[in-house]
Structure 1
Amino acid sequence: MAALVRAVLAAERITTQAALAAACFALAVAAGAGAWQVFTRFVLAQPSPWSEALVRQALVWMVLLGIAGAIRHGALVAIDVARQAARGRLRLALEIVTLAATVLLFGVLFWFGWSMAERVRFQTIAGLDVSIAWGYAAIPVGAVFAILAALAAVLDPHAPDASGQV
């Protein structure tokens, strides 16, 4: 069992770091495309037809990929008072209920995100001329990363949360 936990934690560490790197890249793309939009609109007086759509898609990907890191490091709004006050089995029960709710939420997001991406795959994003399914794909992809991060957050209670506490 310990070997399985170590394997899950190792896989999660790699996937969460990859998701965070991709989220940072998406932020850089959004900032670059946004700067280009401002330049073309106000300096050249000729708005770019593609940059606004790219900013929107990059921000969606950034949020849905970055949520794995937020979950893993306890940076989301949580029930901190109850978690810090609870000890022993009560704390474990609280962690399990939180994990179940998180997995349920992201499982639903995965299911409907996948369904939506399939449904709109023949439509294109105005200004980018790519399938809108690429935008919707952020939902199931982000959900998978988030589920792995939530599982690892419960399996590895010694990881510091956002406040630096264990």
Structure 2
Amino acid sequence: MRYFLRLEDFTTGLAQRLSIAFLVIAAALALYQVVTRFAFGAPSTWSEVITRSAMIWSVFLGVAVAFRHGAMISVDVIQNALPPRLGLWVYILASIGSLIFFSVLLWQGYLMTLRVIPQSLAALEVSIAWVYAALPVGSAFILVAILAAMVRAVQGDWLIARNAEDVQ
């Protein structure tokens, strides 16, 4: 498990750095679009498309980071109201639901990416598949992050139970 958690630490760190890079690209190109449109009266035809695409990539990569830090919508209220063991099971059950959802999204996103390969982005001669690829790639990062969060939750519960036994 230690190696898997190290792998997840690396992959989620990579997803975070890429997400930030795509967000910077999107912000810079949005600013460029505004300047060319309103200052020069000649809007760029390509910057809006790349801005939108960069935002999509940023979001799908950023979700893995959000899962890592527990920032996704969760069942904390219910989990905290229950005894610790039962709360852990609720967390695990919710995580399994997320695993199922993102597994389906990975597969369907992969199929959609393959279907749109012949299509090009507006104003660019680049396949729109590069944008659609954010779904399966982001989902892969997310699945690793969810599995690691589940492992950490179980390990944390095991340590709490073991420390409670040592106190008694």
| TM-score computed with the length of structure 1 as normaliser | 0.89
Structure 1 counterpart of 2:30: 34
Unaligned runs of 5+ in 2: 157-168
1:128 to 121, 124, 142: 124
Assess if the C-alpha contact under 8 Å between 2:79 and 2:88 holds in 1.
Answer: no
Q: Which secondary structure does the structure 1 equivalent of 2:44 belong to?
A: coil
CA deviation profile, 1:10-38 (whole Å, cap 9, x unmatched): 00000000000000000000001101100
Structure 2 residue aligned with 1:114, among 110, 113, 129? Answer: 110
Q: Does the aligned pair in 2 maintain the 1:23–1:61 contact within 8 Å?
A: yes
Is the contact made by 2:68 and 2:149 (CA closer than 8 Å) also made in structure 1?
Answer: yes
Displacement, 1:128?
2.5
Moved segments of 4+, more than 4 Å: none
Q: What is the CA RMSD across the aligned residues, in angstroms?
A: 1.0
Distance between the aligned counterparts of 2:140 and 2:121, measured in 1?
A: 24
Partner of 2:141: 145
CA distance in 1, matches of 2:68, 2:46: 34
Describe the SS at the equivalent of 2:126.
coil
Amino acid at match of 1:75: A
In the alignment of these two chains, the number of paired residues is 154
Q: State the identity %.
A: 42
Q: Classify the secondary structure of the residue corresponding to 2:71.
A: coil
- For 1:153 and 1:83, how far apart are their aligned partners in 2? 15
Q: Which secondary structure does the structure 2 equivalent of 1:128 belong to?
A: coil
1:147 deviation in Å?
Answer: 0.7
Question: 2:30 is matched by which residue type in structure 1?
Answer: G
Q: Deviations over 1:124-163 (max 9, x none)?
A: 10122210000000000010111111111111135xxxxx
Q: Which residue of 1 is the match for residue 70 of structure 2? A: 74
1:50 is matched with: 46
Cα drift, residue 88 of structure 1? 3.8
1:95 is displaced (CA, Å) by 2.1
Distance in 2 (CA, whole Å) between partners of 1:17 and 1:127 is 33
- Higher radius of gyration, 1 or 2: 2
Q: What is the TM-score when the length of structure 2 is the normalising length?
A: 0.88
